[in-house]
Structure formats: C-alpha cells, structure tokens
Amino acid sequence: MKVILVPVADRPECLVSLNAAFDIAARLDANVIGCHVRSHRRETSRTSSRKPLVPDEWSNVIADLNPEEVSLRCEAAKLLFESRAQKHGFALIRKPHPGVERSALWKEMVGTPSRVLAIVGPLSDLIITSRPGKKDAGRGRAFLLAALLQSGQPVLVIPRDWKGSLGRKILIAWNQSTEAANAVSGSRSILRLAEDVTIVSAGKENLPGPKATYLADYLALLGIRSSRLATPGEHVSQEIEAAFKARKADLLIMGAYSRGRTRELILGGLTEHMLFHSRMPVLLLHH
C-alpha cells in the first residue's frame, strides 16, 4: 500500500481518521491524499453514466450555503489536513512525484460523495474514514458507502472515539467466502505489520470455499503467523465482538456483503452491524 485516501471535512471525527491514516502511512512508507468534496446544488450522482449505488438524498448536499461559506469550510478542512500532516512529519506537496514517500497531497473536488469516490477511490490502495454519528448520519453514511461500493478498494472504518493502537493485533472474520479472501488479500501490507493475527470462524466450515486452515497456510507463506479460533456460529456478530475483546484486537478484517445492488443498497446484516453499530475498527472490501 502506497496511496492512502482520506475524505476530509472540518469535523472532529476526521481528526481520528487522519491520525490513523498518517500513522499507518508512516509504518508503510506510504503517501496520504486528503480529499474534500465541495457540494454543488446542481450536482447529483445522476450526472454520471454509472448507476448510482448511494441515493442522492443521503448525500445531504449543502445547497443552502453561499459560495463564501463553502470556501470557508474547504479552507478549514485543508488546514486540518495540513496540520495533521506536519505533526506526523509528512511533506506537503502540490503534485505527486515518482518515488516520493511519506508525502501529503491535498485535493478538492465538486460533486456528491458517490461521484467523487468513483473517481478518486479506485486509484488508491486504502480508504480511511470514520464511522458517522447520529447527527451527520446522512452525509457520513453517503461517504462511507460510496467509498465501499464505488472504489473496489479496502476501506478502513474507525469509531469516532477510538483511541490507542490500530493494526497491531488483528482479527480476521473468516467464512470461506470470496469476499473474505479478497479482504485478506487486499490488506496484506497491514497484516505483515501486525504483532498478532487471529482467524475466527463462526459455525461449521461446510461451504465450498477454503477452510481456516487454508487461510493460515496462505498467511504463513506470506510470512504472517496466525492462530485460529472457532465459535458456535449461533450469534455471529456477538461472537466476533467477543473474540475481538478476548484477543485484545485493534482491527477486524472481513468481507463486505450485500443482499442486492439496487439504488438504495441493502447491506447484509453482519456488514450493516459492523459498519454502523460496532465499536471496532473494521477493514472491509466489497467487489
């Protein structure tokens, strides 16, 4: 991973996601792109030829702000990004340069979260965002879902009140699926940095996909040592959360699942819970 993308607004939760992004980037010798989305009253995801996966009403476009207020918000977001970059020792650059590491690049784009993340998301290696709170559930949810559904890249979602380490002790939620395998493959760089990796499988492993032992072998070939934990599978989300707590983990890796790809996307129950209701940092990948 060499390019980490963070949607930025002048909000407290963005401070959490930015600190996490620069911390992980420093450990990976990666670069961080901060992207602020400037709302436009005439901009909707329907201006894109791609079928919108995030409804425009979730975007909560700030149509009632005048241009001066929009510019002030953009400038505040930029100052927040630059202050975090300087604190973590990253060089502020205006244009990318080949071979440069630990740099911070600022971007401002106009549009809905769905449209913008479809442009900048696919050409990043990891997107980091904070879990939306109740007050900003509409726009925060739009950014989170746009990152997950439009980018095709791993998305790290961090609780807005998270403190402490991140990615030192990792729990992998394994269910023999292609989605889970893709999430593991897409997070190899982070897994290599971990001090402890636990594979948790909930319920019987009676599906056609690879069992937890195969995942352990795969990780071993990458130089990653892991342990395995089996749970009954009767209450999957609760069992994962209990395992996370018992292993003192600070990151959950799992596949992202949906029950359909309609305009108003309906997420699977486990994905919905982990995205919006759990208190764990979770890294997901949706293809």
164 occurs within a structural domain: no
Range of the domain at 266: 169-285
pLDDT at position 274 is 81
Q: pLDDT tier at 258 (50, 70, 90 boundaries)?
A: low
Q: Which of 48-57, 168-177, 203-212, 258-267 has the highest mean pLDDT?
A: 168-177
Q: Are residues 231 and 144 in the same domain?
A: no
| 83-130 pLDDT, tens digit each | 999 999 999 999 988 878 899 999 999 888 888 999 999 999 999 998
Q: Which of 132, 158, 184 is the last residue of a domain?
A: 158
Q: Are residues 108 and 178 in the same domain?
A: no
Q: At what angle do helices 178-186 and 212-221 cross, to 10 degrees?
A: 20
Mean pLDDT of 150-160: 93
Which tokens sit at 213? Answer: 């032992």
Sheet of 155-158, strands arranged across: 91-93, 103-110, 31-38, 3-7, 126-130, 155-158, 282-285, 251-255, 169-174, 196-202, 227-231
The residues pairing with 165 across neighbouring beta strands, listed in sequence order, are none
Q: Are residues 144 and 177 in the same domain?
A: no
Q: Which of 158, 191, 213 is the last residue of a domain?
A: 158
The residues pairing with 227 across neighbouring beta strands, listed in sequence order, are 198
From 244, 256, 181, select the one nearest 214 (Cα to Cα): 181
Mean pLDDT of 162-168: 90
With beta carbons less than 8 A apart as the criterion, state whether 201 and 175 touch. Answer: yes
Q: Are residues 198 and 80 in the same domain?
A: no
163 occurs within a structural domain: no
| 222-237 pLDDT, tens digit each | 999 999 999 998 888 8
Domain of 48, CATH number, reads 3.40.50.620
From 277, 120, 270, select the one nearest 203 (Cα to Cα): 270
Q: Are residues 196 and 54 in the same domain?
A: no
50 occurs within a structural domain: yes
The 10 Å Cβ neighbour count of residue 199 is: 23
Q: pLDDT tier at 53 (50, 70, 90 boundaries)?
A: very low
Classify residue 98 by its DSSP letter: T
Mean pLDDT of 256-261: 60
DSSP, collapsed to helix, strand or coil, labels residue 49 as: coil
pLDDT at position 65 is 63
Q: Are residues 48 and 189 in the same domain?
A: no
DSSP 138-164: HHHHHHHHHHHHHS-S-EEEE-TT--S
In angstroms, the CA 64 to CA 67 distance is 10
Number of folded domains that form the chain: 2
Indicate the range of 4-13, 167-176, 219-228, 274-283 predicted with least confidence. 274-283
Q: Are residues 174 and 118 in the same domain?
A: no
**274 or 179, which is more confident?**
179
